[in-house]
Amino acid sequence: MVSDAMQKTRVVKVERVFRHPRYQRVVRMSNKLKAHDEANESRVGDRVVIEETRPLSKDKRWRIRAIVSRAS
Protein backbone atom coordinates (compact mmCIF):
# COMPACT_ATOMS: atom_id res chain seq x y z
CA MET A 1 0.00 0.00 0.00
CA VAL A 2 1.08 3.52 -0.74
CA SER A 3 -1.39 5.75 1.11
CA ASP A 4 -3.96 5.48 3.92
CA ALA A 5 -4.84 9.18 4.26
CA MET A 6 -8.50 8.75 3.20
CA GLN A 7 -11.26 7.18 5.26
CA LYS A 8 -12.17 3.64 4.12
CA THR A 9 -10.05 4.09 0.98
CA ARG A 10 -6.49 2.94 0.38
CA VAL A 11 -4.16 3.61 -2.56
CA VAL A 12 -2.54 0.35 -3.66
CA LYS A 13 0.44 0.18 -6.02
CA VAL A 14 0.36 -2.81 -8.39
CA GLU A 15 3.70 -3.58 -10.04
CA ARG A 16 4.25 -5.90 -12.99
CA VAL A 17 7.51 -7.03 -14.53
CA PHE A 18 7.69 -8.30 -18.10
CA ARG A 19 10.10 -8.62 -20.99
CA HIS A 20 9.69 -6.13 -23.85
CA PRO A 21 8.47 -7.97 -26.99
CA ARG A 22 10.97 -6.39 -29.38
CA TYR A 23 13.95 -5.28 -27.29
CA GLN A 24 13.92 -8.15 -24.76
CA ARG A 25 14.66 -5.73 -21.94
CA VAL A 26 13.02 -6.27 -18.55
CA VAL A 27 10.40 -3.55 -18.05
CA ARG A 28 8.86 -2.65 -14.70
CA MET A 29 5.50 -0.85 -14.80
CA SER A 30 3.14 0.10 -11.99
CA ASN A 31 -0.41 1.32 -11.50
CA LYS A 32 -1.95 3.05 -8.51
CA LEU A 33 -5.47 1.86 -7.74
CA LYS A 34 -7.94 3.06 -5.12
CA ALA A 35 -9.31 0.19 -3.04
CA HIS A 36 -12.10 0.08 -0.45
CA ASP A 37 -11.18 -0.92 3.12
CA GLU A 38 -14.37 -1.03 5.19
CA ALA A 39 -12.71 -1.58 8.59
CA ASN A 40 -9.75 0.82 8.08
CA GLU A 41 -7.41 -1.97 9.21
CA SER A 42 -4.62 -1.78 6.58
CA ARG A 43 -1.69 0.61 6.89
CA VAL A 44 1.06 2.00 4.61
CA GLY A 45 3.59 -0.68 3.70
CA ASP A 46 1.22 -3.65 4.07
CA ARG A 47 0.99 -6.21 1.27
CA VAL A 48 -2.66 -6.81 0.39
CA VAL A 49 -4.82 -8.86 -1.95
CA ILE A 50 -7.39 -6.83 -3.89
CA GLU A 51 -10.39 -7.91 -5.94
CA GLU A 52 -12.36 -6.10 -8.60
CA THR A 53 -15.84 -4.98 -7.63
CA ARG A 54 -18.65 -2.75 -8.85
CA PRO A 55 -17.90 0.99 -9.01
CA LEU A 56 -18.02 2.30 -5.44
CA SER A 57 -17.18 5.90 -6.34
CA LYS A 58 -15.70 7.89 -9.22
CA ASP A 59 -12.27 6.21 -8.93
CA LYS A 60 -12.84 3.18 -6.65
CA ARG A 61 -13.38 -0.15 -8.41
CA TRP A 62 -11.35 -2.42 -6.11
CA ARG A 63 -11.78 -3.88 -2.62
CA ILE A 64 -9.13 -5.12 -0.21
CA ARG A 65 -9.78 -8.83 0.28
CA ALA A 66 -6.98 -9.78 2.68
CA ILE A 67 -3.80 -8.45 4.27
CA VAL A 68 -0.93 -10.76 3.30
CA SER A 69 1.78 -9.22 5.47
CA ARG A 70 2.02 -6.25 7.81
CA ALA A 71 4.59 -3.47 7.58
CA SER A 72 7.34 -3.76 10.16
Quick check: is 54 in a domain?
yes
Is residue 72 pLDDT above 90, yes or no?
no
Is residue 33 pLDDT above 90, yes or no?
yes
pLDDT of residue 69: 95
Quick check: is 64 in a domain?
yes
pTM, entire model: 0.85
The CATH number assigned to the domain holding 28 equals: 2.40.50.140
Going by pLDDT thresholds of 50, 70 and 90, the confidence category of residue 43 is very high
Numbers of helices and strands, H then E, in the chain: 0, 4
Q: Characterize 42-67 residue by residue with b for buried, 16 or more Cβ atoms within 10 angstroms of its Cβ, and e for exposed.
A: beeebebebeeeeeeeeebbbbbeeb
Give the mean model confidence (pLDDT) for residues 13-17.
97
pLDDT of residue 57: 96
Domain, as residue range, for 31: 9-69
**Strand-by-strand arrangement of the 47-52 sheet:** 9-19, 26-36, 62-69, 47-52
Q: How many folded domains does the chain comprise?
A: 1
Quick check: is 33 in a domain?
yes
Quick check: is 51 in a domain?
yes
The CA-CA-CA angle for residues 69, 67, 55, to 5°, reads 145
